[in-house]
């Protein structure tokens, strides 16, 4: 069985400071990892994904994530937070299950960027 954990329900960061949203995962094989963002009253939007290769993945809106196999983590980062980054962030993990990639989502982390 696969699972993903987001240990923080909420992260507060001052505007202009670096931000990190944490994610750890558990899968039996090679993981495929995703980050999505959800703005209020909207659906989820894809930010970035890790499939293979370089452990540092760059995505939309200046976000990046670092894949760490030994720590089974995939933390989302941004060097300088904006107030507009305030949203709900979901980490997700998948692996092939026949022809279908079963995806498991975390419980979400609310990011609050304080002006």
Partner 1 sequence: DVKVTQSSRYLVKRTGEKVFLECVQDMDHENMFWYRQDPGLGLRLIYFSYDVKMKEKGDIPEGYSVSREKKERFSLILESASTNQTSMYLCASNPSSGRVNEQFFGPGTRLTVL
Residues that bind partner 1 (CB under 8 A): 9, 32, 34, 36, 41-46, 49, 51, 90, 94, 99-101, 103, 105-108
Contact criterion met (CB below 8 Å) for 15 and 38: no
Would you say 73 or 105 has its CB closer to partner 1? 105
> Which residue number, 1 or 115, has a Cβ lying nearer to partner 1?
1
Chain-centroid distance, C-alpha 29: 19
The owner of tokens 């419980």 is 107
Residues, the chain: 115
- Judged by beta carbon, residue 6 or residue 113, the one nearer partner 1 is 6
């Amino acid at each position: 069985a696969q699972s993903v954990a987001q240990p923080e329900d909420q992260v507060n960061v001052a505007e202009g400071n670096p931000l990190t949203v944490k994610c750890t995962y558990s899968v039996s094989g090679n993981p495929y990892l995703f980050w999505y963002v959800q703005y209020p009253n909207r659906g989820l939007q894809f930010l970035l994904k890790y499939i293979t290769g370089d452990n540092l993945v760059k995505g939309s809106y200046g976000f990046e994530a670092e894949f760490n196999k030994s720590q089974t983590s995939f933390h989302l980062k941004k060097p300088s937070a904006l107030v507009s980054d305030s949203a709900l962030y979901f980490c997700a993990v998948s692996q092939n299950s026949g022809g279908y990639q079963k995806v498991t989502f975390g419980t979400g982390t609310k990011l609050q960027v304080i002006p």
